[in-house]
Structure 1
Amino acid sequence: MENQIQDLIQKTPYKVHLFVKDPKTEQFLFSHQLEESFSSASIIKVPILLAVLAYTGKHNISLHSALTITPTDWVDFSVISEQCLTQSTVYELLVWMIITSDNTATNVLIDVVGMDFLNDYFRQIGLQETLLQRKMMDVERLAMGNDNFTSARDMAHLFTRIYQKDLLASPYNELVIDILSRQRVYEGLKRYLVDDVKLAHKTGGLDTVDHDVGIVYGSSFDYLIGIFITNVTDNDLARQLIGRLSKVVYDHMMEQKEEQQ
């Protein structure tokens, strides 16, 4: 597996940050460029999901309470905006934020809890490089250099905690995995997998980055995988690379399983 991954990394013109991790032993099975931070794109919505659930629990807010959405909240590429919704429940916004990466939903939730709370929560749960500095689609702040960041190590830590279900109250821990498992975007990690694999994950992409990170639930093995591509000039080629790397890891895990039987 290691040689195949290294070969793919060496052949690509893009920069690759990658980890494969056993969530039970917390051992890295493979890692590359773990420490360096990079533009998070939409994968920052995963720690936002956890932070909002922590906030609602702390303030005794029902997930079924309705939040007001104004037309100024609507942004492009959003099912909220498509429907011209002027209110939605916290639960609905959380789901849309993850499964379709809805930016309107994300921005409304950021306004509810506040950036300070979000960044404080990220620090509290052990994320060292994850930082929210702008709302989704805020091109003006982005042009000023205010981007959102994370690292492969932070995502490995986060998904380990999600897998172990020790960050939130019990019902919320299961809810996080349930929502991540309903992801509708499969252009990366699942791209070349023939088997019907359960994957609790989140994608993220901008013009120069493509990411996919999550938990693979196997029949007799589970593993965490995160592949983050930066310096991208062709998004489809980057997603193909994520798919190839993911398949190398999955095939290796299947071989390991067969050898143990």
Structure 2
Amino acid sequence: MEQIIEKMVQESPYNVHLFVHNLTTNQLLTSHQLETAFSSASVIKVPILIALLSYIEHNKLSLDTTLPISPDDWVDFSVISEQRLTQSTLYDLLVWMIITSDNTATNVLIDEVGMSFLNDYFRHIGLQDTVLQRKMMDVERLAQGIDNRTSARDMAHLFTRIYRQELLTAPYSQLVIDILSRQRVHDSLKRYLVEDVKLAHKTGGLDTVDHDVGIVYSSTIDYSIGVFMTNVMDNEQARQLIGRLSKVVYAQLVEGKEGHS
């Protein structure tokens, strides 16, 4: 498996960061550019989800608490904006932020707790390279080189702690896994998997990056996998490569046969 993955990474026209971690045995099976930080795109919404649930828990808030949404908050590619919602529950905002990567929901949640709280929480749970420096769809700050960052190492660490349910109390820990498992975007890690695989994951993409990271649950093994592409020129090609890498790993770990690139 490692040799096939290494060959695919070397032949990729794009910059690849990845990890595969056997969660059943707690063994890092393979990695590439583990510690190099890159533009996080929407995968940063996973630590935001956990930080918000920690905030809700700590402050004894209800998930049914309603937050106001200003029309100024509406951004493109958002089911919140499509519905012209002017309020929403914390629960709905958290779910939409993950399962459709809703940017309006994300920005309302960022405003609720503040970037400083989020960045402090990221450091508190052991994320070394993950930093939130702009809201979603803030193209002006992005044009100035101000971006949200993470690393494969941080995502491997985060998803291990999610799997072990170490970050929140049991009900909220399970809620995180449930929401990630309801993801509606399946054009990368799940792309070429024939079986109906349980995958708790989050994608992220910009014009020059494509990411997908999550936990694969099976009857024989649970593992986390993250593939992060930077310097992307063709997003569709990048998502296909993530899918091919994922299939090689799944074939080896779950089906017990050597995958082919």
TM-score by length of 1: 0.97
- How many Å apart are 1:158 and its aligned residue? 0.1
Matched position secondary structure for 1:256? coil
Instruction: Report 1:202-213 matches (<5 A).
Output: 202-213=202-213
Q: 1:179: which partner in 2?
A: 179
Equivalent residue letter for 2:29 = L
Equivalent residue letter for 2:19 = F
Contact 2:20 2:226 survives alignment (8 Å): yes
Matched position secondary structure for 1:229? strand
Structure 1 stretches lacking a partner, 5+ long: none
Q: 1:158: which partner in 2?
A: 158
Alpha-carbon distance in 2 for matches of 1:119, 1:257: 42
Q: 1:247: which partner in 2?
A: 247
Say whether residues 1:143 and 2:143 are aligned partners.
Answer: yes
- How many Å apart are 1:59 and its aligned residue? 1.2
Q: 2:233: which partner in 1?
A: 233
Q: 1:29: which partner in 2?
A: 29
Total equivalences in the alignment: 258
Alpha-carbon distance in 1 for matches of 2:111, 2:117: 10
Equivalent residue letter for 1:72 = D
Greater mean deviation of Cα atoms: 213-222 or 22-31: 22-31
Contact 2:81 2:104 survives alignment (8 Å): yes
Contact 2:24 2:221 survives alignment (8 Å): no
Alpha-carbon distance in 1 for matches of 2:190, 2:2: 20
Contact 2:161 2:167 survives alignment (8 Å): yes
Shift >4 Å, 4+ stretches: none
Alpha-carbon distance in 2 for matches of 1:89, 1:257: 46
Alpha-carbon distance in 2 for matches of 1:165, 1:10: 35
Identity of matched residues, %: 73
Q: 1:17: which partner in 2?
A: 17
- How many Å apart are 1:194 and its aligned residue? 0.4
- What whole-Å deviation, never above 9, does each CA across 1:56-83 have from its counterpart, x for those lacking one? 1111111101000010000000000000
- How many Å apart are 1:254 and its aligned residue? 2.8
Q: 1:189: which partner in 2?
A: 189
Alpha-carbon distance in 2 for matches of 1:75, 1:126: 31
Contact 1:220 1:257 survives alignment (8 Å): no
- What whole-Å deviation, never above 9, does each CA across 1:85-112 have from its counterpart, x for those lacking one? 0000000000000000000000000000
Alpha-carbon distance in 2 for matches of 1:257, 1:172: 36
Say whether residues 1:118 and 2:118 are aligned partners.
Answer: yes
Alpha-carbon distance in 2 for matches of 1:25, 1:10: 28
Q: 2:224: which partner in 1?
A: 224
- How many Å apart are 1:255 and its aligned residue? 4.3
Equivalent residue letter for 2:132 = L
Q: 1:74: which partner in 2?
A: 74
Structure 2 stretches lacking a partner, 5+ long: none
- How many Å apart are 1:25 and its aligned residue? 3.2
Greater mean deviation of Cα atoms: 22-31 or 133-142: 22-31
TM-score by length of 2: 0.97
Alpha-carbon distance in 1 for matches of 2:61, 2:157: 27
